[in-house]
A and B are shown apart, each in its own frame.
Chain A
Amino acid sequence: MKSTIKTKTLVLAVIASLVTLTMTGSAANAIGTLKQDALTGTSATVDTAATDAAIRKLVNGRTIKLGFAPPILSEAYTIAQQGAWNQMKDYETRYGVKWVWTEEAPLNNAHSGVETTGFIQNYVAKKYDAVFVCSAAPATVMQQLYKQGSAKGVEFYQFNSTEQLNQKSQATDATAGLSSVSNISYDNRWQSGALAAQYIADELKGKGEIIMILGPAGSDWTKLREQGFRAVVKKYPGLKIVGAADGGYVRDKGLTAAADLLTKYPKINAIYGENEDMALGASAAIDAARLKHWDGKSGIITIGADGLVSGMDEIRKGNLTATVNVGYADMGRTMIRTMFAHKVLGMDVAKFIRVPTVIVDKTNVDIFQSQIKAELATKVKY
């Protein structure tokens, strides 16, 4: 009796530290490939055998039904899903958790995202334990649904969503109106847009002309990344945003938009694409205009955001100068960890968990690409 309480507290202690790790996002965590995952206990210092046994006892072979509802099927979400699966696999082997995983995604107009509401209602009807949601639908709508769902005992975890909850009350209390257990994401302003701008500023020594290829007007992601980007650019009187165009988050439109802007401003020093696809389109436009890519001293900097395998390849080739890696695999893992900590171990988790993001360029591409590749290499599937 006593011992069990002891082990429990011990376990809690361990996990608490880990979850805080996750939330603050240490390097170790960021490079969370299979072997280095802390919860799986291959730590040199701590022996977690006892913990594992205790958790296994607590789990007691139960099945947890998880729903996964991204706004659209795309590489980013596939990586996130794989990360989640890998984490689930770990837990299965260590604690004997059994999993049911169902993905629901609309095949079109990801930007209105109303379809997701239907998916969620179905997860609730099917009495799932927890659902991971990312939707472009009005935040108020989603929060409403989470409230109704939670009342029926389903836990909701938002991922990769903006922190704008579109609630008046949020002005006074940041987390007010968040009806999901937690919001596992990153700050699109300061962890994405701003980083990109900062990188450009540093490379260009604070002097130069920039054009922006934006996502579809009206999307929250677009809005926020642009905010962050502009905010940093303001700090450098030498930097100037000369033009902007809509690239609709797709490569071809990005190419066309960049090509148009390049004819008008052939002298620019940097292109910011709000996602990697558009940035790569822009990079193609640079080639087409027979202009020079950035070589560290001269040429045009092209920077995107996402952190996809394809993007990193282009960084190696020098077609893409840099990208903001938001660590989708890590996001996936964190989703599972957080859910497990809260749902199974009954821990309290932060309302806003920010996964670490990082600028990836030639200098550090190996680290992060190998990480993603490792995650994708596991043939784990649920």
Chain B
Amino acid sequence: MSTAIALRGIRKTYGKNTALDGLELDVAEGEFFCLLGPSGAGKTTTLKTVAGLEQPDAGTVELDGKDMRGVEPYDRGVAMCFESYALYPHKSAYDNLASPLRSPRHRLPAAQARERIGEIAELLGISALLDRPVGRLSNGQRQRVALGRVLVRPARAFLLDEPLSHLDAKLRQQMRAELKAIGAVQRTTTLYVTHDSVEALALGDRIGVIRDGRLVQTGTREEIWYRPSDTEVARAFGRPRINLLPGVVTQDGGFRSADGTIELPVGAQAAPGTDVLIGLRPRDITLHGPGHELTGTVYVTEVLGRSVEVTVRLGEQQVSLVAPRSDTTGLRPDDPVRLSVRPENLLLFEADRPERPGRRIETR
């Protein structure tokens, strides 16, 4: 697999604000790559830099191995879906979809264009809306038109900027499933930007986590899930959030919580006495399963459909876990409980510091 999109040491500043700070990124041919990060992390800037809409202050953008410096956006052959949709408000849905097909670079004969637009509209379920002016479409409909404008034309890469963010939860879930199923998307290299980790996990062949203009971690969803590079990445994925308990590394490489109530053998590859955080994902803690055992008392329970979130007090700390409903019947606040966690599911991090989140420490 060759590299379709490559960013090398991209720097971009707006006045005093640094948007991208030496960003490195590789997206393979045909890959669906999700860029995940909070707002302001530089996601949109990354997309626009790839598209040639923003000029990087330093670094290079390569598409299919060719340096794109000085190449105008319309010559880069990429299609982009903007977070704001950027539909032409003075035109109908049809004309918006037809816009690329009427441009000098992607021109199709009118009849052929009509056919192509019909297909795409069909695919996105907007056939009935084509004559409407954009101003009279709902957000969801606009979203689809915007997506349609990207799909209607051939492109060497799709750049999608939070294309599902303005949709309500149900529609978003539905679209998420549909998007992956679209043939064009399956075939074409796609760089997809989102702030929603669920979306990233569901869609991305690979995921890049961006923070403060840098890529902190790239990998498959398993790599991101099981080997998060630091506490921030760990916190970004999974709901309820990962439990992070403070403590120190003991003489034998184990973990002891700050109040001494929890001790777990983890085989930390760090000097004894180092301040660390131990990470336990709520879904990795069981009430009666195998693994290390911890005892505590129930603090509060909250029903989440078929499973239940239980918050347990362990000494001065609290951890949450998600258990099947059947396992939790009869649990009342202040009831004593015994929790277990498998050693391979334990994650160990350096303690967070003001200037950066704690990095993961290898365990044996």
Partners in one complex: no
Q: Interface residues, chain B, CB within 8 Å of chain A?
A: none
- Measured CB to CB, the residues of A under 8 A from B are none
